[in-house]
Amino acid sequence: MPYKKPNIEKIHYSIGEVANMFGIAASVLRYWEKEFKIIKPFKNAKGNRYYTPKDIDNIKLIYHLLKEKGLTIDGAKLYINSKSDTEIDKTTHILSKLIQIKDELLTIKENLKEISTHFKSINNEQ
């Protein structure tokens, strides 16, 4: 998942910030908002959307269902509508933990590559 965790945790994120987190266009977020009732950004007087961390968790779930699992919009709606709010919360929590674990594993992999390169250079010097 291309989700990029923001450097600074905030209370609200703009549509551009959220789109950047997922590597998608802002228009996709607006479309998903129309299609999925679980995305409920706050809109200011100008109509600018601001997403909460809860919205972002729900977007993670929708992204996962559509982009990673390959479900259609209708299939993702059916999945989400078949779950209670508690089940959706649990699913988004698990998905967030899996993303965190994946990020940690990628960091470990990079560290191992650096260590391997270092040992190879030491062996070549001998």
Range 32-36 average pLDDT? 96
Range 30-37 average pLDDT? 96
Phi, psi of 91 (to 5 degrees): -65, -45
Phi, psi of 51 (to 5 degrees): -100, 140
In this prediction, residue 2 carries a pLDDT of 61
- CA torsion sign for 99, 77, 55, 93 is negative
Task: Inform me whether the pLDDT recorded for 23 exceeds 80.
Answer: yes
In this prediction, residue 65 carries a pLDDT of 93
Q: Where are the domains of the chain?
A: 13-125
Q: What is the pTM of this model?
A: 0.71
Nearest CA to 77 among 99, 51, 58?
58
In this prediction, residue 4 carries a pLDDT of 63
**pLDDT tens digits, one per residue of 56-99:** 999 999 999 999 999 999 999 999 988 877 887 788 888 878 88
Range 1-11 average pLDDT? 68
In this prediction, residue 6 carries a pLDDT of 65
Nearest CA to 58 among 22, 100, 111?
22
Q: Which tokens is 97 given?
A: 């933990």
> In the 8-state DSSP scheme, what is residue 45?
T
- CATH number of the domain at 13-125, please? 1.10.1660.10
What size, in residues, is the chain?
Answer: 126
